[in-house]
Amino acid sequence: MKDFDKIACNRTFVILLLVIWATIAGLSVSPALSGTWDIQTVDTGNQYASLALDSSDKPHISYYGGMINPGLRYAAWNGSTWNTETVAGGGLGDMTGQYTSLALDSSSKPRISYLGDIMNPGLKYAAWNGSTWDIETVDGGITSGPEGQNTSLALDSSSGKPRISYHDSMNMALKYAAWNGSIWVIETVDGGMPGDMTGQYASLALDSSGRPRISYHDSVNMALKYAAWNGSIWVIETVDTGMMLGQYTSLALDSSDKPRISYYGDMTTPGLKYAAWNGSTWNTETVDGGMLGGSAGQYTSLALDSSGKARISYYDGDLINPGLKFAAWNGFTWDIETVDSEMMGGPGGQFTSLALDSSDKPHISYPVGFMNPRLRYASPFLGDANNDGVVSADDYGSVQLNFGDTGVPGILGDANYDGVVSADDYGSVQLNFGDTAGLGSVPVPEPASAGLLLLGFSGLLWRRMKR
């Protein structure tokens, strides 16, 4: 290597180190623990998480354990700690449990759809019977492979019977499996013919009469699509089109069964997008354009509150300002906040999963960490009226100061996260007095330790470069 090249090379590394250092400094200036969110680390080494709330609003999460905890995993919050277990698979390098989707039946028993390992392939279904997990293969022709093979599980509200939408990467099709009480009835909803490539990132919802509706991506037609079973056929329509548009879809139905879809744009219309059917046409809009050509809007998860207002969790891969984000429609505009500013892991499996509890409070599961992957859980930090991460005497003052204000949940003074600053909020401060944000069953690593890891890694590179 010529001296000149060495200097140029070293200069590149100095700049790289400065960028890393600035990123770490940025993390410690704006810590991961936002005042309005309580953030817990649930488990180590996880991806593809799906969250559901039980009848007492306690969170349950299914996920793939990754390299550290291989296999399909399940975590349940008992009110004071997270109980975690391996449901299926679990040997060294086992890939069982990718693309999980969780639902709880009417007695809060967990049901999970997921993909098997290459040694034991297929679309799988695990159901807790009260003492053990019953596991069956729904469709044996599915292997885990490319991004977007989402499974999406819903239970029929009257019978509790499971329904699953999924992408068949062998046949390039969107498929739907329904348990009829004795067998799984499987049908191809869209695609399956030569030249097709459709059904990725599928998201399933059942309407008030139990009929399935599915949002999904079609990569041949470069579109976001929507399929609805009308009782005799699947009616398929194109919601929005672009280059790569329509990935990471999440579907929810409002109280009159009108579909709403969150999804990711593309180079032409970048960022997080939202589509709503008004009864005669689809209205689409950009919620968060993000930075650097549309970094925001991957791994979306959509839920509607009790008045039908949209809430969306999603990932922003922006290098300067990454993290888990949360968008809330306040009736006029989208209120957008960063929930956790720690960078998520590498590509694939970084699912965010959102559910709203009986008082419309959001609960989100998501992974963080590239070198130190962890499963996290975020929910509003209650009692903290002034959003400083501690419930203390100051918060009574914040309620008084902002008394009568209304807005999105979590505005200053709104200690109980209902969007109104009222007498209830004094009660919320009292109830949660002394709490500090970020207390979980697994200690939350300091951003500084991740920084030291990064510095150690770049130091190693630096030494290699100097040889």
Q: Which two tokens stand for residue 403?
A: 């008394």
Cβ atoms of 36 and 384 closer than 8 Å: yes
Cβ proximity to Ca ion: between 195 and 434 the closer is: 434
Phi and psi based region of residue 172 (left: phi greater than 0; alpha: psi -120 to 50; beta: remaining):
left
Of 167-175, 215-223, 345-353, 381-389, which segment contacts Ca ion by CB under 5 A?
Answer: 381-389
Phi, psi for 182 (deg, rounded to 5):
-130, -30
User: In the sheet where 323-329 sits, what is the strand order?
Assistant: 296-304, 310-316, 323-329, 334-340
Of 342 and 395, CB closest to Ca ion:
395
Query: Which span (142-150, 169-177, 302-310, 388-396) binds Ca ion, by CB under 5 A?
Result: 388-396
Near Ca ion by CB under 5 A: residue from 254, 318, 388, 405: 388
Within 398-457, the residues that bind Ca ion by CB under 5 A are 414, 416, 418, 420, 425
- Closer CB to Ca ion, 248 or 381, in the complex: 381
Distances (CA, A) of 283 to 240, 249, 334: 9, 16, 15
Pick between residue 202 and residue 415 the one whose CB is nearest to Ca ion. Answer: 415
CB nearer to Ca ion: give 81 or 406.
406
Structure tokens that stand for 71 in this block: 């296999």
**What is the residue type of 310?**
A
Of 62, 100, 198, 386, which lies in the binding site for Ca ion, with binding defined by CB under 5 A?
A: 386
Residue 415: which residues within 8 A CB-CB, separation 6 or more? 382, 383, 384, 385, 391, 395, 398, 399, 425, 426, 428, 429, 432
Is the CB of 105 or the CB of 405 nearer to Ca ion? 405
Q: Using CB under 5 A, which of 45, 395, 399, 438 touches Ca ion?
A: 395
Q: Among the candidate windows 144-152, 195-203, 317-325, 382-390, which touches Ca ion by CB under 5 A?
A: 382-390
C-alpha to C-alpha distance for 213 and 163, rounded to whole angstroms: 11
Q: Which of residues 193-232 bind Ca ion (CB under 5 A)?
A: none
Instruction: State which residue, 227 or 378, has the beta carbon closest to Ca ion.
Output: 378
Measured from the CB of residue 305, what is the shortest distance to Ca ion in angstroms?
15
Q: Does 266 bind Ca ion (CB under 5 A)?
A: no
What's the min distance (Å) between Cβ of 45 and Ca ion? 33
CA distance 423 to 414: 10
Residue whose CB is less far from Ca ion, 149 or 387? 387
Task: With contacts defined by CB under 5 A, name the span among 51-59, 130-138, 143-151, 386-394 that binds Ca ion.
Answer: 386-394
Contact criterion met (CB below 8 Å) for 166 and 214: no
Check if the beta carbon of residue 299 is closer than 8 Å to that of residue 280: no
| Interacting residues with Ca ion between 66 and 125 (CB under 5 A) | none
Tokens standing for 143? Answer: 């292997």
Smallest CA-to-CA distance from 59 within 35, 78, 38, 43 is with: 78
Instruction: Report the interface residues with Ca ion, using CB under 5 A.
Output: 384, 386, 388, 390, 395, 414, 416, 418, 420, 425
